[in-house]
Structures are given as structure tokens and as C-alpha cells.
Amino acid sequence: MCRRTRLTTKLKRLLISRYGFVLLTACLVICMNEIVCYEWMVMTWPNIDSLANKSTVRKFLLVADPQLIGEKDEGFFGLITRNDADRYLANTFSRANNYVKPDGILFLGDIFDEGLSASDDEFNRYFNRFDTIFQYKSRGNKSIVIPGDNDVGGEYYGDKNPYQRQRFSSYFGRMIQLYRQKDIEILRLDIDLRDDYLKTKQSRVLEETQSRPMTSAFRIVLNHWPMLTRSATFTKSFLHDLNPNLILKGDSHHFTIHLHDRNRSVTEMLAREFLPQPVLPIDVAQTRYVHEISIPTCSYRMGVSRIGYGVLLLDTATKSAHLTILSTPRRYGYLYVYATYGICFVIGFIFMLLCPGRSIVTYPRS
Ligand SMILES: [Zn+2]
């Protein structure tokens, strides 16, 4: 028998042996959980080519609440859970980034889960993980990162500390900043749930905008916390000062769209969890209306079932805006597959020890 035939025979014997069966099924499970599910996810994303390929369209990838798992709260399995959550974010983000090829990436706060309680060394390690997952430093000024309550506080009384805000700024830039590019203005803000706009933020915001409302076709505010569902005085003065037509936020972990009618001073919810159509046009032409869009979390650890990334497409020629959501897999389902396989493996291993045998089927010797 030639060498090649002997090798083929040995391989066939290995595959039909008990060890071969275990190896083969393990490879299939890993392949499904780590590759196939992500590739399948990409195939279900809405087709944005007709808009995205236009030279006048600016594309933004919206990333909300990645909440990188910290080093204190996870206990004994922290290393495993952190690695899995980081790998999930890297796998989904890299595919979303390739799919959209964005001109800008907007991070809508709560970057870290334990940013508030982190020491300087821990914060630096968290930042390095963030950089590895999202390639933040290598993208230069293409990304804007705003803070959330898990990064700098602001969710309840007494959790704010000027040092944490300063530290966040030293990594991600100023808290309040206006970016202008052609017909697009983007104002990053940090107005938390406890801030009184008129008392604590108005003067600093007006300093940045030189006391002029925004005037471009696309006047976008980034703020981790909601702006339209606060008191009438807050909303009215904020809208009067800045004149935005789009507010992008995170924090809730859910996807919602709120519409504020400035003439009637009322806010209503237009969508929750699901987009009415795969690629939704957003009316930004009428100064009367302001849209506030809450982007779902991209982390499977946040306890919500619908997770993913937002995509905002702004056509500077037609002055039209479109929004879509790129949903990402529910990781827990795949972790359960691993757990089930692990249990079957242990049972099978015990069975093999108790009933030693060479193969599942008898293969003729040559
Ligand atoms: Zn938050």
C-alpha cells in the first residue's frame, strides 16, 4: 500500500474512532459559535449600498454602551467572561466597520462598566482593551467618544467626581466640543441626568458654539443621556440655544426614536426596538421637528435581547438622513451550546473510560 493511501486510511480510522468523533464535533461547535454565526449575521443586515456608495453621503457608525467588563465585579470567572465579551465586541465591530466603511465612528458613552470605580492603572488597562477592540488610536480623529455614567458618574446624586471627568478627557478629548464639516455639525455634550442645563452647562455650551445656534443641514447633538424627555424649561432653552435636528444618545440599551414638535412642545415615541422599515428616512428638513434616537447597546452583557450598532447616512446633496440598525447575535444562546457540549463531553468521557473500545464502527484492516 502506498504512503498516501496509508495516511488516508489512518485519517479515516481517527475520524470514526471515539476520539475522532469528539474532535470533529468540537471543531463543528467552535466553527458555528465563532465564525458561522457572525457571517450569518452579516447576511441578514439591510442593504445600504444604493445610499452608501454615493460620493455625497457621509456614513457614521454609532456605537452605544459597549461597557467593557471590569476587573472587580466578575469574581472567579472574570478572565473568561471579560475575554468572551471583548471577543464578541471585536468580532461584531470589525464586521460592522467593514460593512459600512464609515467616515466617522460615534461612541455614545458607557464605554467601561467599572470606569467610575477604576484606579488609574485599571482605567489605563481598560483603555488599552478598548483600543484593541475598536482600533481607536489608529483611526486618529475619525472617532468621537462621549462619556456615560459608568465612565464619569451622573446617574444619581453624589456619584460625580471632577477627577474622573478629567481622566476621561485626558484619554478621549474635551467633554464639550463642536465639530464642523461641510453641511454637518456635531456637538458632543455631557449633560447628565442631574445637570440643570441653565445653571450648570449653558454658559460652557454657548462658549463652545460662540453663542450661535447651529445652522448646517445636519445639526447633531451627541449626549449619553436623554434630552427631549426632561422638563419643558430644560428642553425649550436647550433647543433654543442649539437648534439641533438630531440627537443621538445611549444609556437605555434599547433602540427608540422620539420626535419633538417645537411648535406644540410635545414629544412622542415613533419607534421602539424595531425600525418601521429596514433603512428609515428621517426628516431633518423641517426646523419644527427634532428627532432623538437611542442606539441599542452593542454588548450582550446588558440583559437586553436586541443588540447591535446604528448606522447614520447623511446625504449632503439632497440634505436627507437615513438610519438603520445592524443587529448582532444573542451570544448567550451560543454559550448555552458550549455548556451543553461540555456536559455531553464529560458524560461521553466517563462512558469511554467505563466501556473502552477503539471505534464507533468497525473499519476493515488493510
Ligand atoms: Zn448610562
Tens of pLDDT, residues 77-109: 889 999 999 999 999 999 999 999 999 999 999
> Ligand 1 centroid vs 149 CA: distance in angstroms?
5
Tens of pLDDT, residues 180-229: 988 999 999 999 988 888 888 899 999 999 889 999 999 999 999 999 99
> Ligand 1 centroid vs 162 CA: distance in angstroms?
18
Element (H, E) at 266: strand 266-272
> Ligand 1 centroid vs 200 CA: distance in angstroms?
20
- Whether pLDDT at 20 is above 80: no
What are 64's strand-pairing partners?
A: 297
CA dist 106 and 64 (Å) reads 8
CA dist 188 and 173 (Å) reads 10
Distances in Å between the Cα of 114 and the Cα atoms of 198, 316, 365 are 30, 39, 61
> Ligand 1 centroid vs 357 CA: distance in angstroms?
57
How many CB atoms neighbour CB 145 within 10 A?
Answer: 21
- Whether pLDDT at 57 is above 50: yes
**Residue-by-residue DSSP string for 60-87:** EEEEB---B--SSSSGGGHHHHHHHHHH
- Whether pLDDT at 160 is above 90: no
pLDDT band at 366 (very low <50, low <70, confident <90, very high): very low
> Ligand 1 centroid vs 152 CA: distance in angstroms?
10
If you average pLDDT over residues 262-282, what whole number do you get? 94
> Ligand 1 centroid vs 110 CA: distance in angstroms?
5
> Ligand 1 centroid vs 77 CA: distance in angstroms?
25
pLDDT band at 272 (very low <50, low <70, confident <90, very high): very high
> Ligand 1 centroid vs 150 CA: distance in angstroms?
6
> Ligand 1 centroid vs 337 CA: distance in angstroms?
31
> Ligand 1 centroid vs 65 CA: distance in angstroms?
7
**Residue-by-residue DSSP string for 196-264:** -IIIIIHHHHHHHHTT----SSEEEEE-SS-STTS-HHHHHHHHHHH--SEEEE-SSSS-EEEEEETTT
Q: What is the CATH code of the structural domain delimited by 50-329?
A: 3.60.21.10
- Whether pLDDT at 7 is above 90: no
Tens of pLDDT, residues 303-331: 999 999 999 999 999 999 999 999 999 99
Residues 218 and 184: beta-carbon distance below 8 Å = yes
> Ligand 1 centroid vs 148 CA: distance in angstroms?
5
> Ligand 1 centroid vs 225 CA: distance in angstroms?
7
pTM here is 0.89
**Residues 6 or more apart whose Cβ sits within 8 Å of residue 225:** 148, 149, 154, 191, 192, 193, 249, 251
If you average pLDDT over residues 36-53, what whole number do you get? 94
> Ligand 1 centroid vs 202 CA: distance in angstroms?
22
Question: What's CA 314's distance to the chain center, in Å?
Answer: 20
> Ligand 1 centroid vs 279 CA: distance in angstroms?
26
Tens of pLDDT, residues 292-303: 999 999 999 999
Instruction: State the chain's mean pLDDT as an integer.
Output: 90
Domain spans in the chain, listed from the N-terminal domain onward? 1-43+332-366, 50-329
User: Does residue 358 or residue 140 have the better pLDDT?
Assistant: 140
What pLDDT is recorded for position 356? 67
Percent of the chain with pLDDT over 90: 71
Tens of pLDDT, residues 342-365: 898 888 778 777 876 555 545 454
Which residues sit with Cβ closer than 5 angstroms to ligand 1, an ion? 110, 148-149, 251
> Ligand 1 centroid vs 140 CA: distance in angstroms?
25
Q: 215 phi and psi, to 5 degrees?
A: -130, -5
Output DSSP code: residue 155: S
C-alpha grid cell, residue 310: 446604528
How many CB atoms neighbour CB 121 within 10 A?
Answer: 9
> Ligand 1 centroid vs 64 CA: distance in angstroms?
9
